[in-house]
C-alpha cells in the first residue's frame, strides 16, 4: 500500500479557533473520490495534527513530521486495531 503526506492549511477565526473542518473534508475526499478512483479498495486518511505545525515552510527540508505527529499517527493506528 502506498502512503502519502497531505498537508491542508488550517484556517483560524479571530479567537484563534480552528474553522477548517479538515477531518470531514478528508472523509468526504476518501469516501467519494479516492475509493471510486481505486475501485473501492481500502482507503484511509488519518489526521495527525489539526494545526499548521511544522508545515508550509518555503524550504522543503523544514516541512518534517514532528515527534508528536508521528506519535499521534501510531496511537490512532493502535486504537483502530482493537
b (16+ CB within 10 A) / e for 36-67: eeeeeeeeeeebbbeeeebbeeeeeeeeeeee
Residue 11 in any domain: the answer is: no
SS3 assignment, position 16? coil
**pLDDT of 34-78, one tens digit each?**
777 777 667 777 788 877 666 667 787 877 888 988 998 899 888
Residue 6 in any domain: the answer is: no
Domain of 75, in residue numbers? 22-81
Residue 17 in any domain: the answer is: no
Q: Where residue 1 falls among pLDDT bands split at 50, 70, 90?
A: low
The number of distinct structural domains making up the chain is: 1
Residue 31 in any domain: the answer is: yes
| DSSP structural state of residue 58 | S
Residue 10 in any domain: the answer is: no
Amino acid at each position: 500500500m502506498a502512503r502519502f503526506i497531505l498537508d491542508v492549511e488550517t484556517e483560524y477565526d479571530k479567537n484563534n479557533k480552528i474553522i477548517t473542518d479538515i477531518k470531514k473534508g478528508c472523509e468526504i475526499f476518501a469516501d467519494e473520490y479516492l475509493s471510486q478512483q481505486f475501485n473501492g479498495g481500502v482507503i484511509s486518511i488519518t489526521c495527525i495534527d489539526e494545526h499548521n505545525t511544522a508545515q508550509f515552510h518555503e524550504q522543503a527540508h523544514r516541512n518534517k513530521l514532528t515527534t508528536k505527529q508521528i506519535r499521534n499517527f501510531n496511537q490512532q493506528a493502535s486504537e483502530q486495531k482493537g
